[in-house]
Chain A
Amino acid sequence: MTALDDIDTLALKAGDKRTWHRFVAASASLVHAVTRRVMAAHGGTADDALDAAQDVYVRLVANERRLVQGFDPARASLATWLAVVGRSCAIDHLRRRRQPTSALEDVPEAAMAVEGRHVERLNIPTGLLTDRQALVLKLLYDRDMDVADAARFLNVDAQTVRSTHHKAMLRLREHFDVEDRAGRG
């Protein structure tokens, strides 16, 4: 079977039928894995996951393959991009089943991947933690991930995660010590 990395993305964007067949054959397990994960998290069934996976492909080819046109092989791998887009399509599929809304393929790419409207701010001065440190703490404490999983997600080794956590804790303790002393004084 062809790997996604071997797909000719230019031919895919041009709508070449043979390339599309190879793309589907190479990507079906990934797309299905994404939709299974999304549906499982939202109480969906195996059939729902299959419907959502089918919908991912429909959206990929809709409007003259508009979603596919947004892919840039110089920036990311096709598999990772497809996982992100497939996940967004699956979430959109769920939303549309609940209430009609604008189709994902009609939404600008820049606003597509991250659908979060809720913002969580940390109650600390800006710059106290680096972006990476804040993300590591979030993964370890909010998401209850273990160090190995967080490391895999961040594409670093486990020791780097531990080190990042340690440095973040030092900064936070220092900050709150100063704050506590100021409060007592």
Chain B
Amino acid sequence: MERDDGPGSAPDAAGRALWRRLKNTSAAPVPVGAEPPVGALDLAAWLDGKLPASEAARVERYLASHPAALDAALDASLALSEATAAAPERLSTRAQALVGFAVEGRAGGRGWFRWIGSWRRSVEFAAVAIGFVGVSGTGYALGGGLHETYAAEARRDAVALELVTNPLAAFDTGELWAEIQLDRGGRR
């Protein structure tokens, strides 16, 4: 059985009238530095009942004078008791896919060095570099390598030089000369 403290222990019309009398609502910006803001962790700790008395009093003072903060606390508190229904499957599926993708490392203008310095970017660069070297090496090997290339080039240079210095020697006239000799002999 609950104890009653007598008149005024529960909200009533007299209490409501008194409350209206003492309220003086003003929509004014909070002076900077006048009241330290209550952060998410402070509010969560207060909702969990984990704050020491002095800290709890500060949060309660803040909630009593900041309607939007009280809305946030009430919403969070009620959501905790309402979170029994399963969320749609697609929410979990999409959310689970977030880690490891670009959105996770969205830099928001933190600069080149951070972008280059991130390990994932480094791995990507390394993979591309290894691929490039692999393709180049394979193509080079299939083409015969450096020795084959230099040898072919040297042969072309030698033929060109022979053509200039000794044009007749540049051609293989052996067979032609043998045919001429044969013709002469035949006529004999």
Which A residues are closer than 8 A to B by beta carbons? Answer: 15, 17, 20-21, 24-25, 28-34, 36-38, 41, 50, 53-54, 57-58, 61-65, 70-72, 75-77, 79-81, 83-88, 91, 103, 106, 109-124, 130-132, 134-135, 137-138, 140-143, 147, 152-153, 155, 158-159, 162-163, 165-166, 169-170, 172-173, 176
> Which residue among A75, A106, A112, A120 has the maximum number of chain B CB atoms within 10 Å of its CB?
A120
In the complex, the answer to whether B39 meets A113 with C-beta atoms within 8 Å is: yes
In the complex, the answer to whether B38 meets A113 with C-beta atoms within 8 Å is: yes
* Subset of 9 A-B contacts with CB under 8 Å: A30-B79, A76-B48, A116-B68, A134-B60, A141-B11, A152-B77, A162-B4, A166-B9, A173-B18
A86–B98 Cα gap in the complex (Å)? 16
Which B residues are closer than 8 A to A by beta carbons? Answer: 2-6, 8-11, 15-16, 18-19, 21-30, 36-45, 47-50, 57-58, 60-88, 90-92, 94-96, 98-100, 103-108
Question: In the complex, what residues of A have CB within 8 A of residue B79's CB?
Answer: 30, 33-34, 37, 83, 86-87
A160–B151 Cα gap in the complex (Å)? 100
**Do A113 and B83 contact each other (CB < 8 Å), given the known contacts A21-B96, A165-B11?**
no
- Nearest to B85 among chain A residues (CB) is A29
**Do A29 and B43 contact each other (CB < 8 Å), given the known contacts A58-B98, A114-B72, A162-B4?**
no
A86–B82 Cα gap in the complex (Å)? 14
A161–B94 Cα gap in the complex (Å)? 43
A50–B90 Cα gap in the complex (Å)? 9
Question: In the complex, what residues of B have CB within 8 A of residue A122's CB?
Answer: 22-24
Shortest beta-carbon distance from B133 to chain A in Å: 30
**Do A112 and B76 contact each other (CB < 8 Å), given the known contacts A15-B99, A106-B108, A131-B64?**
no
With beta carbons under 8 angstroms apart, the residue of A30, A124, A169 that contacts B80 is A30
In the complex, the answer to whether B87 meets A62 with C-beta atoms within 8 Å is: no
A122–B50 Cα gap in the complex (Å)? 27
In the complex, the answer to whether A76 meets B87 with C-beta atoms within 8 Å is: no
- Nearest to B6 among chain A residues (CB) is A166
A74–B114 Cα gap in the complex (Å)? 31
Question: In the complex, what residues of B have CB within 8 A of residue A84's CB?
Answer: 40, 43-44, 47, 72-73, 76
A126–B87 Cα gap in the complex (Å)? 46
In the complex, the answer to whether A54 meets B91 with C-beta atoms within 8 Å is: yes
A88–B109 Cα gap in the complex (Å)? 23
Shortest beta-carbon distance from A89 to chain B in Å: 10
In the complex, the answer to whether B29 meets A117 with C-beta atoms within 8 Å is: yes
In the complex, the answer to whether A28 meets B95 with C-beta atoms within 8 Å is: yes
Question: In the complex, what residues of B have CB within 8 A of residue A158's CB?
Answer: 2
